[in-house]
């Protein structure tokens, strides 16, 4: 897999509940993309003041004869960059790099899988579900969000999954509460063997805990797609790091754009997010003159 | 007017045959565009987007003796036309760097400009020594680091400390490899630091590193970066960087300079060259456009051709020379002939403004002499 950079024509920008879904012609990206990978989109135009790329999970790709491959992603307007994207219209061009990052690893043998999505974090789970079902896996889904309009893909989920559970913080749809409140029951009921999750970091931490404590503490593997602040998306800036335990047991500040965004949940040092654990490789005592080393 | 026509036709023919080669001390490179330290890792990740071996080279992320975890996150904040970073020189340490990163660059025929960073003069010296016998095209000494032996004072801010580092590196580095000192703009007299690095043996200078900034998150009402202060980079600092190149080239015209700071296009790069840079480095803009180094190289070539240059070298420092009207001879469309008197320059008398009517029909009827445009012709 080699990422490509394309000037893609916008085919459509659609409102989907609280989100926008943008479809862009991006041949090269579309053909190579695998579930869990993302694209990094330049915002603001060639002379604009916003230099950093915005990362979005790939929702789905399609091969369309006339256009070449297309890529669709789902986003909410969070700040200036996403507001600019929301203002794009069909035939506008956006600069996209992708596919980026490590995809979700699929079980070699058919397995019973629970997919957990929070808000727009549901987006990458549909192509994952397709891939899993092609391998003969059973797929059950848990979707959660703050409010009903922030649940993404509820209908699709009902169509494709053996069962779907919904939660909202305000109880406007499904059960009131968090995905991690209903997840233990779903794991037990479906006799799940693997959990996949994408959503806010706090949710991923809770899902990891539930999965590791399942079956009386025996635990099942959990793969999470994280969301760390990114500047480049391609591995050259070192802004997107988080503490991850390697196969050798050593914690490293690991780039989530290259070695992630999908990690094995219990490899992430959740208690140390935003910090450098003292036992991490090359951890240094805090400098009193903060910032000097940055240069 | 002739000048304008020449530029237009040259811009339309980008098959520009310009000699882009340049010299950085004893190092000759076929192209003046490098990637900037910390903005290209060790090159590999940019290979899908650039022909790295065609560039001047890759300046690798500053490497230290031991592995470094860097700073906590958040490590960056986007700012207008720029960003703040406080990465904290995260890196694998010199051993792993030589075994993996430098090897990869050599295997792929990419010129490696190795950036080194230390907390003491002794560490810089050790790093320089480790580069002996290695496939290194150039050594860039990142002196924007706190000196642990001097209460964390940054080497680059003190001409004597900067000189001590450069001298130690020169003593230990392979003799055939040019050593460039990379200067910080956060000093009152950059020429003094430049002079003292050159006196200590620097073969050239890289200008500039980031300048210190702070961003406050108005939602949390706390600093945005975990490290509080960060280095400001990107087009926001370009005039500051061009100023540094300008001043240092004016004072030390024979010292090769690498211009760095907010280069986004070929004409941005040209600005640095005209100010006195023999080569340029592209940094933050790579985050915006991973193919920027190759694109900027091509754009610079076109921009040089459009201005009638056959060699990049002829443009270096040109802005310091007194202005002369340069109209390439063979392209002068008027030759020796006397131009026709310019009709616009004729004396024109006007009616009293109150009597002027703007009916299109009328104007066409009266159009025997003077044409009046509807819009303002921008004079
Ligand atoms: C791997 C990955 C996948 C993502 N997938 C999606 C998705 O499918 N849909 C979606 O709506 N959002 C997604 N995000 C988050 C999205 O990147 C941010 O919402 C977006 O960058 C905000 O940009 P802005 O200019 O509107 O906000 P601003 O706050 O103005 O952004 C300022 C800067 O911070 C960075 N930034 C801010 N918030 C985030 C964030 N949450 N994550 C990463 N960087 C951030 C931006 O890149 C930018 O450099 C994903 C992030 C990552 C890392
Ligand atoms: C994320 C980031 C990391 C950097 N790391 C280094 C570094 O390790 N060593 C160094 O000498 N300069 C480092 N720099 C500074 C750049 O090499 C460059 O001098 C500066 O950013 C100005 O150029 P630019 O505006 O093109 O980015 C870094 C800059 C950024 C943005
Ligand atoms: S976002 Fe730049 S290294 Fe990961």
Q: What residue owns the CA closest to ligand 3's atom 3?
A: A235
B347 pLDDT tier (thresholds 50, 70, 90): low
Window from A222-231, A248-257, B136-145, B369-378 with minimum mean pLDDT: B369-378
- Cis before B328 (ω within 30): no
Of the residues B39, B145, B197, B244, which is catalytic? B145
pLDDT for B343 equals 47
pLDDT for B16 equals 67
* Chain segment B11-48, per-residue pLDDT in tens: 444 456 999 999 999 999 999 999 999 999 999 999 99
Write the secondary structure of B218-270 as one string of H (helix), E (strand) and C (coil): CCCCEECCCCCEEEEECHHHHHHHHHHHHHHHHHCCCCCEEEECCCCCHHHHH
Ligand with an atom nearest the CA of residue B234 = 2
3-class DSSP state for residue B183? strand
Q: Is pLDDT above 70 for B6? A: no
Higher pLDDT, B2 or B204: B204
pLDDT for B323 equals 78
Q: Can you point out the beta strands (E) in A150-233? A: 163-168, 175-176, 194-198, 222-225
Task: Identify the structural domains of chain A with CATH numbers, from first to last.
Answer: 4-100 (2.40.30.10), 112-225 (3.40.50.80), 241-285 (no CATH)
Contact yes or no for A241 and B70 at CB 8 A: yes
Whole-number Å distance between alpha carbons of B33 and B56 = 5
Average confidence (pLDDT) over B74-90: 96
* Chain segment B323-341, per-residue pLDDT in tens: 776 555 554 444 455 545 4
Q: Is pLDDT above 90 for B217? A: yes
Residue partners of A108: CB distance under 8 A and separation at least 6? none
Residue A51 in contact with ligand 1 by CB distance below 6 A: no
Low-confidence ranges of chain A (pLDDT < 70): 65, 285-295
Residue A228 in contact with ligand 1 by CB distance below 6 A: yes
Backbone region of residue B267 per phi and psi (left: phi > 0; alpha: psi in -120 to 50; beta: other values): alpha
Q: How many C-alpha atoms does A97 have within 13 Å on its Cβ side?
A: 28
Q: What's the angle, vertex CA A170, arms to CA A167 and CA A175, rounded to 5? A: 30
Q: Is pLDDT above 80 for B8? A: no
pLDDT for B357 equals 41
What is the residue-wise DSSP string for A29-92?
A: HHHH--TT-EEEE--S-TT-S--SPEEEE--EEEEETTTEEEEEEEE---SHHHHHHHT--TT-
Contact A26/A59 with Cβ under 8 angstroms?
Answer: no
B144 pLDDT tier (thresholds 50, 70, 90): very high
Residues of A in contact with B145 (CB under 8 A): 292-293, 295
Q: Which two tokens stand for residue A48?
A: 């604009």
3-class DSSP state for residue B93? coil
> How does the average pLDDT of chain B come out, rounded?
87
Note the pTM of the prediction, 2 decimals.
0.89
Centre of ligand 1 from the C-alpha of residue B95, in Å: 35
Q: Could you confirm whether B145 is annotated as catalytic?
A: yes
Task: Identify the structural domains of chain B with CATH numbers, from first to last.
Answer: 15-319 (3.20.20.70)
pLDDT for A198 equals 98
The CA–CA distances, whole Å, from B261 to A1, A45, B82, B245 equal 32, 20, 10, 10
pLDDT for B352 equals 56
Higher pLDDT, B155 or B335: B155
pLDDT for B149 equals 86
pLDDT for B1 equals 34
Distance from CA of B275 to the nearest CA of A (A): 23
Q: Is pLDDT above 90 for B152? A: no
Q: Is pLDDT above 50 for B4? A: no
A110 C-beta neighbours (distance < 10 Å), count: 13
Residue A237 in contact with ligand 3 by CB distance below 6 A: yes
pLDDT for B361 equals 38
Q: Can you point out the beta strands (E) in chain A? A: 4-16, 19-25, 38-41, 54-57, 60-64, 68-75, 93-100, 112-118, 138-145, 163-168, 175-176, 194-198, 222-225, 241-245, 251-255, 262-264
């Amino acid at each position: 897999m080699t990422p490509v950079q394309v000037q893609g024509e916008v085919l459509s920008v659609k409102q989907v509940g609280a989100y926008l879904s943008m479809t862009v012609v991006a041949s090269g990206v579309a053909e190579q993309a695998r579930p869990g990978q993302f694209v990094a989109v330049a915002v603001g135009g060639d002379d604009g003041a916003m230099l950093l790329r915005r990362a979005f999970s790939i929702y789905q790709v399609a091969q369309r004869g006339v256009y070449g491959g297309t890529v669709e992603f789902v986003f909410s307007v969070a700040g200036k960059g996403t507001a600019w994207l929301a203002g794009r219209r069909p035939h506008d061009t956006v600069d996209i790099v992708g596919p980026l990052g490590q995809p979700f690893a699929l079980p070699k043998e058919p397995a019973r899988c629970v997919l957990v999505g929070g808000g727009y974090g549901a987006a990458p789970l549909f192509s994952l579900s397709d891939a899993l079902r092609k391998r003969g896996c059973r797929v059950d889904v848990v979707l959660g969000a703050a409010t009903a309009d922030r649940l993404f893909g509820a209908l699709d989920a009902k169509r494709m999954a053996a069962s779907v559970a919904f939660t909202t913080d305000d109880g406007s749809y499904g059960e009131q509460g968090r995905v991690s409140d209903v997840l233990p029951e779903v794991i037990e009921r479906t006799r799940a063997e693997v959990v996949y999750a994408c959503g806010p970091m706090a949710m991923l931490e809770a899902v990891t805990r539930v999965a590791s404590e399942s079956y009386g503490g025996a635990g099942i593997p959990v793969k999470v797609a994280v969301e760390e602040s990114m500047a480049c998306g391609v591995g050259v800036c070192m802004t997107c790091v988080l503490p991850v335990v390697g196969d050798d047991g050593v914690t490293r500040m690991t780039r989530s754009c290259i070695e992630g965004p999908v990690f094995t949940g219990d490899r992430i040092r959740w208690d140390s997010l935003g910090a450098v654990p003292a036992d991490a490789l090359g951890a240094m005592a805090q400098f009193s003159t903060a910032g000097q080393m940055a240069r | 007017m002739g000048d304008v026509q020449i530029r237009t036709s040259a811009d339309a023919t980008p098959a520009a045959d310009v000699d882009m080669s340049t010299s950085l001390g004893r190092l000759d490179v076929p192209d003046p565009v490098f990637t900037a330290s910390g903005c290209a890792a060790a090159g590999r990740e940019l290979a899908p987007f650039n022909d790295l071996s065609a560039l001047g080279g890759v300046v690798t992320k500053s490497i230290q003796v031991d592995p470094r975890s860097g700073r906590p996150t958040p490590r960056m904040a986007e700012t207008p036309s720029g960003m703040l970073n406080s990465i904290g020189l995260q890196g694998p340490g010199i051993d792993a760097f030589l075994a993996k990163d430098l090897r990869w660059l050599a295997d792929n025929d990419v010129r490696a400009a190795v950036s080194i960073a230390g907390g003491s003069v002794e560490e810089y010296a050790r790093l320089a020594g480790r580069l002996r016998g290695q496939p290194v095209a150039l050594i860039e000494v990142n002196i924007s680091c706190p000196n642990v032996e001097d209460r964390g004072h940054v080497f680059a801010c003190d001409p004597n400390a900067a000189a001590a580092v450069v001298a130690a590196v020169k003593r230990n580095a392979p003799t055939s490899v040019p050593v460039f000192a990379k200067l910080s703009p956060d000093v009152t007299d950059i020429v003094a630091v430049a002079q003292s690095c050159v006196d200590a043996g620097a073969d050239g200078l890289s200008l500039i590193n980031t300048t210190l900034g702070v961003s406050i998150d108005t939602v949390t009402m706390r600093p945005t970066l975990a490290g509080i202060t960060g280095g400001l980079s990107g087009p926001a600092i370009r005039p500051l960087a061009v100023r540094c190149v300008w001043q240092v080239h004016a004072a030390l015209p024979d010292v090769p300079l690498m211009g760095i700071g907010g280069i986004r296009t070929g004409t941005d790069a040209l600005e640095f060259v005209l100010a006195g840079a023999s080569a340029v480095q592209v940094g933050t803009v790579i985050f915006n456009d991973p193919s920027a180094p190759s694109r900027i190289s091509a754009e610079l070539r076109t921009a040089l051709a459009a201005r009638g240059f056959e060699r990049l070298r002829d443009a270096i420092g040109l802005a310091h020379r007194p202005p002369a009207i340069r109209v390439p001879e063979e392209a002068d469309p008027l030759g020796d002939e006397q131009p026709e008197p310019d009709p616009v320059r004729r004396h024109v008398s006007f009616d009293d403004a109150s009597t002027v009517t703007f009916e299109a029909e009328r104007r066409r009827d009266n159009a025997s002499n003077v044409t009046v445009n509807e819009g303002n012709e921008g004079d």
